[in-house]
């Protein structure tokens, strides 16, 4: 099977680890507000990580599993 180069990327965690982007979900401001509230209702903080695009614009991502768990508990 021929595999395309660069068909996936690694993203950095705040702890200096580089993981596949398949485990991450980039959140916009509205989504961030919602999921921070859902997490706080469970008495915890959302595990947020910070990145930036090549052009320098910043983004915030969270682990997809964390987001899915918060959604599934609703």
Partner 1 sequence: MEIKETYYFSPCDFDRNGKKLSNGTPFKEILKEFEHDFHSRHSNYYALYLFANHSTMLLLSRSCNAKKNLIYGMELIEDEFDPNTNHHIEKASNKKNIIVYGIDSAFMPLDENGIPRIVEEKMIFPLTLLIDNNIRDGVLHLKYLDDEDSDEENINAPINIDENNLKFIKWR
Which residues here bind partner 1, judged by CB under 8 A?
A: 3, 5-12, 15-20, 22-23, 50-54, 58, 63-65
Q: Which is nearer to partner 1, 16 or 43 (CB)?
A: 16
CA nearest neighbour of 10 among 51, 67, 46, 57: 51
Q: Are 61 and 25 in contact (CB under 8 A)?
A: yes
Q: Are 50 and 60 in contact (CB under 8 A)?
A: yes
Q: Which is nearer to partner 1, 8 or 74 (CB)?
A: 8
Q: Which is nearer to partner 1, 19 or 37 (CB)?
A: 19
């Amino acid at each position: 099977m021929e595999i395309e180069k660069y068909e996936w990327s690694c993203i950095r965690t705040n702890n200096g680890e580089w993981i596949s982007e398949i485990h991450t979900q980039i959140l916009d401001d509205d989504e961030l507000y919602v999921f921070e509230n859902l997490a706080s209702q469970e008495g915890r903080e959302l595990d947020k990580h910070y990145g930036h695009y090549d052009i320098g614009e910043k983004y915030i991502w969270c682990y997809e599993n964390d987001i899915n768990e918060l959604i599934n508990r609703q």
